[in-house]
Amino acid sequence: MAGPLKKSSIPGVTIKQLVDEIPEGCSTPDFEQKPITLALQEGRNAIFRAVVCGDPEPEVRWYRTKGDLSNPSKYQFSSSPGSKEHILQINKLTGEDTDMYRCLAVNEYGEAVCTAGLKVIEGRNHRKELLDFRKLLKKRAPVPKEKMDSEKVWQLLMTADRKDYEKICMKYGIVDFRGMLRKLQQLKKEQEDKMAQYVKTISHLRHIKVNKQGTATFSLELELKDPESKIYLYKDGEMIPYGFGPETRHCLRRLGKRYHFHIEDLRPEDAGIYQVRVEDVEVFSTELDADALPASFMAPLAQCHCQEKGTAVFQCTLSRPCLQATWQFQHHPLQAGPKYDASVSPDGCTHQLVVRDAQLQDQGLYAFSTEFRSSSAWLRVEGESQHLTLHLFLCSLTPGSTAGPACRFLHGLIDVDALKGEAAMLSCTLTSDQVAGVWFKDGLKLTTRDGVTFEQEGPTHRLLIGEVQASHAGNYRFEAGTHGSEAVLTVREPPTLAQDVLEKLKEPVVVKAGKSVLVKVPFGGRPPVHPTWSKDGVELVGQGEVQVDNGDGFTRLCLPIAHRKDSGCYSVKLRNGSGSAEAHFQLVVIDKPQPPRGPLQVLDCSSEEGVTLGWRDPGDDGGRKLQHYMVERQQVGRQTWLRVGETPRSVTTFSSGPMERGRKYRFRVRAVTSVGASEALESEEQVTVAPRALPSAPPAPTIIRATSQGITFSWSAPHGPGSAGLLGYLIEKRKKGSNTWTAARPHPIPERTWTATDVLPGCQYEFRVTAVNAAGPGEPGTPSEPVFACDPMRPPGPVQELKVTDTSYTSITLSWARPDVQDGNQCQGYLVEIRAADSLQWSPCHAGLVTSTTFTAKGLLPKETYFVRVMAINDGGQSQPATLDSWVQAIPTGWVSVSPRFHMDTIPKDFMTVSCGSTVRVPISFEAAPTPEVIWQKDGLPLPRRAVTTTREGLSLLLIPVAGASDGGLYTVTLRNLQGKEASWSILVRVADPPAAPGPIRLEQNVPGTVTVVWEPSPDEHQEGQLHYMVLRRSSAWACWQTVKDWVQANRLTLTDVVPGRDYYFRVVAKNMVGASRPSDTSQPWTVPRQRDKFTVKLPVYRELNHSQKPRFLVPLKAHLLPRGCECRMSCAVRGEPRPRVSWFKDDKSLVSHPVAYCTDVLGVCSLVIPSITPGDGGEYRAVAENRLGRAVSRAVLIVTGEGALPR
């Protein structure tokens, strides 16, 4: 859980602690200097500087309110590793850059945030101003504010605290308070029923609040039934996207069951009602009132310049009126007087501060602060003339000093970060080019003998270093007159690797398996250097089989025994505070290859050609390419293996020469590389050489084309023994009806396609094929289908005018017209096919062909829908199918369908409560024609097995014989007809048992004459939303039990009508909608003792001491002798009763309207503070303390040293 908010010493900085405890020596981030608000002209560059601190060093990120900072040419971020300063530079400002910019510093213990504004002053466009003025004249009156929707008000009341009911009702005009409570109780019950399907528990609702940082937060504890349930955020009914980090204005942070919603950078449009929803159910509503929004700066303060004794004006504009606003100078509040005049516009949004008679001591940081935010800007006061400035300078010289031209820094020194060996430059710019400056390093004056070069170009002074070394790092200072500027030079020396080492590592490191590997990498760089070894991107921890040794200026990797799995890409990364370096090398571990992958298959075996073997490539070649495979053979019964041949690495089959018939052999294969041969892959079974088998019969030929000149057909190769090494195929033919086959060609042909040309036109032929190998011809194949030797006929055209002439419950009658005849494609018959509406398979309605142009499809299901199509057929094939435009229903002609609907007067109510073990019966009456499809579901899913449904004409029944707790839920019945029309109805079934008895009863007497009955809740209270309690009582005066109160929602009840002296017994019963529990009784009677007569005691009256006294000074004022420009603080201590009021005077004039001085009074210690004194402030000061008993006076003299000062 996150820790509390912490206070920073810098105003406007928010620190949030992310952990409960911070280890010693560590701290959360903080700002030593926060970026200030800027107001710059369009086209210039804006620079925000922030100095952060924290341990460990925090990460700094920049954000803006109205966009992102992803454009690198527009937004530039810079920081030095040795410096705490972080800079955001915005180049070439435009009007769109006006925004609030936020700086976020984060480490593992907390985060710190501050903001700064940027106002871009655009060039005036007179034409645009004129158009804007014309638009202003045409503006209408503002549209009246719409009233809040009543539904949103009720949603707000359901999650509001009871103490806020009255305020919400008065705000939205609800006058019937009791009626509101009754309706609110009903709405809460309905909402709990909806939430039950997604939410287990919800508690600790915290409504929206706005903190001092201008962030709105609200939270709740939520336990979901399904952790994957979606959570949505709505504002005034519209969904708002949110994130999980500080990048978005609306973010969600979750800690266990706690959900925290944050709204950053509040704006006026953020006011409204916010709702949290789980899926589609609202669980929490809260309202952000417009009056609670902090006032934001529409136009922040801008930097101001004025001449000495001139008038400076600061002005800012707020988003809404703010009464609690103050002006400050150098973090001290300002009071209205002759010096300062603060004013506010009539609308209360524009504030103005006028500084009159501006002096040099008036320049500094002015701030305007509201309750939550602040804006600040600098005042620059310039001298009236060079003559006056020189005169004042000469007057302030001390004896022995010399005069020089007045100057100041236009651009001070900036911290520099340089690499060792590179050039570096420090530069600053003065207001005058006639001033000679002096350079210092770490407090010592620099000369050219220190290896540096000094340059001056006009008012710009530079310090150049040709090659930066480690000794050049330090703090540099440039002094010109009484002014100076400092910067830090940081020398970075990242790790380096020698070039010869990198060249060696480019070559792969090759080693045999089983040998050791040792790689040593020397390096340089500023210590400490941290080496990290990795293999294929995975870091090596240096344990087990991998050893890593780091020494002074080197790192070493050692593998005592190399394996094939150690091959890969190795890298070493060197890191220090200045940077990093990395080197890579490839390690190759070579070994003998793995054996070829089996099994070793025998593809062919014959005594003439030998044995043909087959295998697969090895899984690992051992790091070297395969050269060849070596095949060996062993005759069964002998010990000797004979080498029978080799194959190239790309060939994984081998055929041995002719072998002796009837012998048994074993074979094995080895993979060979330059490293050696692998282990052997042996055949699993013995190989016996047998004579070659005859080929199998080929399948039946397929007719490709038939004409009067010839018939073309093809066939596929046979499978099985002897099918390898075929020499060709023999082709035979015969006329249909003949038993004699004749050879179509006397010799085998190697092709599997043939055209028979010796045919007679109009005759019908059959063909068959026989395969031939070296052993001879095999069995003839299956004959082909009979085919005519004639030119092909064109298929007929589609049928015309297909329509339905009659329908019944079991048949559909069709009629059509004959297709058009073209080029002799007469139709020989028709084919009628049908399919059901829920099927994609067409089925014929008859056997053979239909010769007429009408047909009746019979045997159909009543009231079912069908699709029908008709095709014309001849010897050339079939035509394109003709299909009806829509489906046809098997119903009598003229029959009218009825859309499904429920009989609402006969169906039960939409809520049912039953006890466990009882039977659930839900009858549903409906009306529809034809009979619709009835679908039952429980909570949107199919019914469980124990649920039984029965549907008849106009009635559907849901039956659960023995109901259990899991049978409760929302049951939905849906009626759907064939036209797609639906009707649905739902009923909520709740299965419950009578609740368990409450716990023990405890009686308390908190108020005399009353008794409070307290009992432990029933175990079913958290699971039962409708559970309540009934309290009964009997006394010694009545023997029967009497009901004291029913429908008690709490676990306690206070009774007032208790008669003293009687014995009372109490009983508590838990009840729900199913029944009541067993009672829980008190074991001992309760008796209220009779009250005795009261007696009074008179206490003596004592006189109080009179502590009144007139004022007197315990510590009087003391004289002060101070130089000009210092702060003067006069203090005294005064006592008196009543507490005296202290007034301050100078030379008998009251200091109430003094423009600079202010006074404090802390527990009688009174002080007068003058921030910067001048000779005009010298004189006699008097402190007067007064109360109703008298007065006291203390005097002191202030003497200011130094001459030539102008009086105030």
CB atoms within 10 A of CB 395: 11
CATH of 5-124, one of 3.50.50.60, 2.60.40.10, 3.30.360.10, 1.10.760.10: 2.60.40.10
Superfamily per CATH, domain 597-688: Immunoglobulins (2.60.40.10)
Superfamily per CATH, domain 702-718+725-788: Immunoglobulins (2.60.40.10)
Instruction: Enter the CATH code of domain 499-590.
Output: 2.60.40.10
Indicate the burial class of 973 (C-beta count within 10 angstroms; 0-12, 13-18, 19 or more): buried
CATH of 150-292, one of 2.60.40.4070, 3.40.50.300, 2.160.20.10, 2.60.40.10: 2.60.40.10
Q: In the structure, what pLDDT confidence band is assigned to residue 242 with cuts at 50, 70 and 90?
A: confident
Question: DSSP secondary structure string, 886-902?
Answer: S-EESS-TT---EEEEE
What's the CA gap between 234 and 288, in Å, rounded?
Answer: 13
Q: In the structure, what pLDDT confidence band is assigned to residue 542 with cuts at 50, 70 and 90?
A: low
Give per-residue pLDDT as tens, 255-297: 778 888 888 878 778 888 888 988 888 888 888 877 777 777 8
CATH architecture of 801-889: Sandwich (2.60)
How many helices and strands in the chain, by DSSP H and E?
Answer: 6, 95
Question: DSSP secondary structure string, 1144-1172?
Answer: EEETTEE-TT-SS-EEEEETTEEEEEESS
Task: Tell whether domain 297-382 is in CATH 2.60.40.10.
Answer: yes
Query: What CATH class is the domain 408-481?
Result: mainly beta
The 920-929 sheet, strands edge to edge: 898-902, 920-929, 955-960, 948-952
Q: What angle do CA 1181, 1184, 1190 make, to 5 degrees?
A: 155
pLDDT at 375: 84
pLDDT at 1195: 92
Mention every residue, 6+ apart, whose C-beta is less than 8 A from residue 43: 92, 93
pLDDT at 124: 55
Query: Taking 60 as the threshold, does the pLDDT of residue 224 lie above it?
Result: yes
Give per-residue pLDDT as tens, 1079-1088: 888 888 878 7
Task: Tell whether domain 1109-1201 is in CATH 2.60.40.10.
Answer: yes
649-654 contacts, C-beta under 8 A, 24 or more apart: 649/625, 652/596, 652/614, 652/615, 652/616, 652/617, 653/603, 653/612, 653/613, 653/614, 653/615, 654/612, 654/613, 654/629
Q: In the structure, what pLDDT confidence band is assigned to residue 1208 with cuts at 50, 70 and 90?
A: very low
H helix or E strand, kind and range, residue 754:
strand 753-756
Query: Taking 80 as the threshold, does the pLDDT of residue 394 lie above it?
Result: no
* All structural domains of the chain with their residue ranges: 5-124, 150-292, 297-382, 408-481, 499-590, 597-688, 702-718+725-788, 801-889, 898-992, 1001-1087, 1109-1201
Q: In the structure, what pLDDT confidence band is assigned to residue 669 with cuts at 50, 70 and 90?
A: very high
Q: In the structure, what pLDDT confidence band is assigned to residue 121 with cuts at 50, 70 and 90?
A: confident
Say if 898-992 and 1109-1201 have the same CATH topology.
yes
Indicate the burial class of 1070 (C-beta count within 10 angstroms; 0-12, 13-18, 19 or more): buried
Q: Which residues of 923-955 are buried (b: 16+ CB within 10 A; e: fewer)?
A: ebebebebbbebbbbbeeeebeeebeeebeeee
Indicate the burial class of 276 (C-beta count within 10 angstroms; 0-12, 13-18, 19 or more): buried
Q: Do 699 and 779 touch, CB atoms closer than 8 A? A: no
Q: What is the CA radius of gyration of the chain?
A: 51
Helix (H, G, I), strand (E, B) or coil at 147: coil
Instruction: Enter the CATH code of domain 898-992.
Output: 2.60.40.10
CB atoms within 10 A of CB 54: 22
Most confident of 91-105, 391-405, 990-1004: 91-105
Task: Indicate the average pLDDT of the chain.
Answer: 83
Give per-residue pLDDT as tens, 1119-1149: 999 998 899 999 999 999 999 999 999 988 8
CB atoms within 10 A of CB 219: 23
What's the CA gap between 36 and 301, in Å, rounded?
Answer: 10
Instruction: Enter the CATH code of domain 1001-1087.
Output: 2.60.40.10
Closest CA to 663 of 679, 642, 680, 681: 642
